[in-house]
Structure 1
Amino acid sequence: MSQDGAGEPWGGPAPGRDRLAAVLRPVRAGNGFEEALEQVLQVLRLGLVPAGERLPAERELAERLGVSRVTLREVLRVLHEEGLVESRRGRYGGTFVLPRAEGGGGSGAAELRRRIAAVDLEDVLRFREVLEVGAAGLCAAHGLDDAGAGRLRAALAGTRDTPPGGYRRRDTLLHLTLAELSGSPTLAARYAAVRATLNDLLDCIPLLVRNLEHSQRQHTALVEAVLDRDAGAAREGMREHCAGTAALLRGFLS
């Protein structure tokens, strides 16, 4: 997959590289994989690297995004699995953009996409963040009794060692538990509604093992902050967690 220094410079003359300047930028530390994937997907969706052309060399792309080569290769692996790029070896090898397939995904995927066609993605993501950050902060600031702390620990434990196919349900239960423990039935009800829409959106994108592992680490830190009654850390941890999911959804669906 390595293409550093191989073959002709990517994109022809120097002005061709400027096409990416408005999209590719150093990512934030908290969600490096998700935000890097979002940016590369945006490059492809905008056609900044047309089908048949080569992406920048790994070293250059990693530097532009401010991520390690290991993280970048995880991003490229996802693109390969989704049929968006292919690797070619040899002097003029590299990672090349493939033509986008039309009308794929089967009848179930098509029905799901019809159901969410009218969804305002940004509205859902912003409302979700407001509710989740607020719930995490309330739980931490007010503190949880023994029963509430036990429920939260059990919900977190339920997300561990769960096969990818069942992870989203366990993830949903953990977030719903936080909303319910906030002490606001109205907040919990609103969150349940927005989570249903969020899950429809998530069902339109692939389950990424790297993202699930990252989310699990964020979940653990978030629960620890809540149980330690550190409201600031709980709010910031949830904000970062929501931002990672938002980056993936924007990358695949925007």
Structure 2
Amino acid sequence: MAGGAAKLGEQVAARLESVIRSNAWPAGHYLGHEEQLSRDFGTSRSVIREAIAIAEWNGVVESRRGREGGLYVRERALDPAIALLRNYLFLSGADLPSLLRARRLIEGRILELATERIEADDAAGLAGLLADPASPRDDRVHLSRLKQIVDRMSELADAPLLRLFGGALRHCYVDRVRTTTLDDGAYLRASRAVAECRMLQIQAILDYDRGAVRDLQTRAMDIWEAFAAELSPARLSGAAIVDRLTATGNGALIYEFVQPAKKAEAVARAIAQMIANRDLDVGERLGTEAELLADFGVSRRVFREGVRILERFGIVEPGRGKLGGLMVGSPRRDMLIASLGGNVPALAETTVRDDGLLPMLLTDAVRALVAQDECRRDAFVRAVGAAQPPSASGLARLVAIHAPDALTGCLIEITLDCGRRSDEGRLDRRQLSALLNAIGSADRFAAPRMLRGLCPPAA
């Protein structure tokens, strides 16, 4: 599990994905078998296996077994950026409360923009979703409608980053539910109730009743929050988590609309869940490979592919000394952002089309920071005041680094890196000092207002 080999695998994965994009190969296109790909890319079979695992993790390709086995362009794949962010958020420990907190912000903003930007033709399409009432117990119909409505709202909002964030948060939320509990029935009951809210929400949009749209959004998120609060964590074994995340068919109705994982991906998520269940800190030991394999019921090869995925983002690292094994690492947000830019150029090049996104995320982060203990606030004040005043984007990045909720900090950094900015000067020292005084004194009213004034939307 050497770092050099991992880097080579990442390079080959990036080349493979670039070839697929540049040739515009459709879903289902045959790419070759392992030995052939190894020759094509001029590398060893072990490196090509690692590259395939990374490309599968990114939602770009899929391996098939049997007579027509080999590597194919993945069918019905998630947008690669959504898949990548979804996986990173899960691996880095985003829990149900933080996912719901972010969903309230992002989905609320999507609905605001969708309501503002809807046209007559769009309204006719939305009205069609109301035409055929579903049976109260038809979970397949409810899940299908939920997906259609959420996707349609994202299209109407016409903001690429909001679509990325909304999709990744929603899919990650389902994964976290399925690694926490065996009770899919409770999830399906909550889905029915949310679907009813969404149908009423469409009618409110058609009636241009913005107040009702907001109220129904709050109600939908309250349903998910109540559902999460009532879950009894099952503390599932590694093998049970792998089984649930890879399940298909009637036993995994949820995954008809939120794509199931490949085995290596499921192993990576199961290890991440193990870290969360044991409440392990950076540097603590997970166990040797033999100890961990006994809990997972997968081959050594699949296990190691899963570990590679985790190592790529710093979630685990090889242990040293006599025992060796795996140690808990520190999530590398820089690797996520580099991967988003490398794998999805269109996202990295796009202008942020929702001017309200960054101020909204910053406001949420600074409110949470003000609510924290004095030590945390002081650490932020010292970091900002330690050198010359930063630029607006520099201040925003410091807020992201010190945000109490790492998930919100991650979204802020992605937004900053995807926005185009002209050269910025340093912030006014007096205004910055006033902001730091407001944060240091826990002024939850003045601090968000001052921050919005210092960090205007990306240009």
TM range (shorter): 0.3 to 0.5
Bigger-Rg structure (1/2) = 2
Taking structure 1 as the reference length, the TM-score comes to: 0.46
Taking structure 2 as the reference length, the TM-score comes to: 0.27
